[in-house]
Amino acid sequence: MGVFSRLSDIVNSNINSLLDRAEDPEKIMRLIIQEMEDTLVEVRASAARAIADRKELERKRADFQQRHDEWGRKAELAVERGRDDLARGALVARRKAGEMAEMLSSELRQIDETIGKSTEDLSQLQAKLKEAKAKQRSVEIRRQAAHDRVRVNRLVYSNRVEDAVARYDQFERKVDELEAEAEVYAAGRPRSLTEQFAELEAEETVSAELAQLKQLVSDRGGKV
């Protein structure tokens, strides 16, 4: 298949329709993008060659046009000098040069049409490639999101999570029991001499603060 034929098929294709018919849309999308990128490179290369050919044809056409004009001047000179034989030869040469210039002009018009069509198709192909890459990115994001949701749901709704939570509750219950047992031991042991004096000092501090408060209220005329 030629480059321009393949390009036309890609440009005229419907990406969504291709994906709907595909068993593996991601694989098809990758292949489509690869085909587009390869075709893009080939079309650009073909366009560059066509432009180079056009420049060469333009130079040749200009050369034959110059010969055509030059032979015309020589024919005029020959007529002025009475050399009809030379004038006839110059006219024949001028006609041939003119025919070659016209033929090259026709080829140039065909190349211009080809380059114009190639440029138009190239623009459409780039738009299609952009669309395909956007579609590919969208599918990848949706697939990843769906994959993450499946993983989350498997964890949230699986018995493994419930079992783990239940075991953790059991472990927490054992810790509570150990803490309670430690408190029981602490409450049941006799207080040390230091602790008793500390408690006594605290009671004296509270009694002193209470006496000060009563005196303050009495000074203000309050009743205790």
Where exactly are the structural domains of the chain? 3-157, 160-189, 194-224
Q: What is the pLDDT of residues 24-35, one digit of tens each?
A: 667 777 888 888
pLDDT mean over 90-116: 92
Residue with tokens 């509570």: 176
pLDDT mean over 62-80: 94
The pTM assigned to this predicted structure is 0.49
58 band by pLDDT with thresholds 50, 70 and 90: very high
- Assess whether pLDDT exceeds 60 at residue 119: yes
User: Greatest CA separation found in the chain?
Assistant: 155
DSSP track, 57-123: HHHHHHHHHHHHHHHHHHHHHHHHTT-HHHHHHHHHHHHHHHHHHHHHHHHHHHHHHHHHHHHHHHH
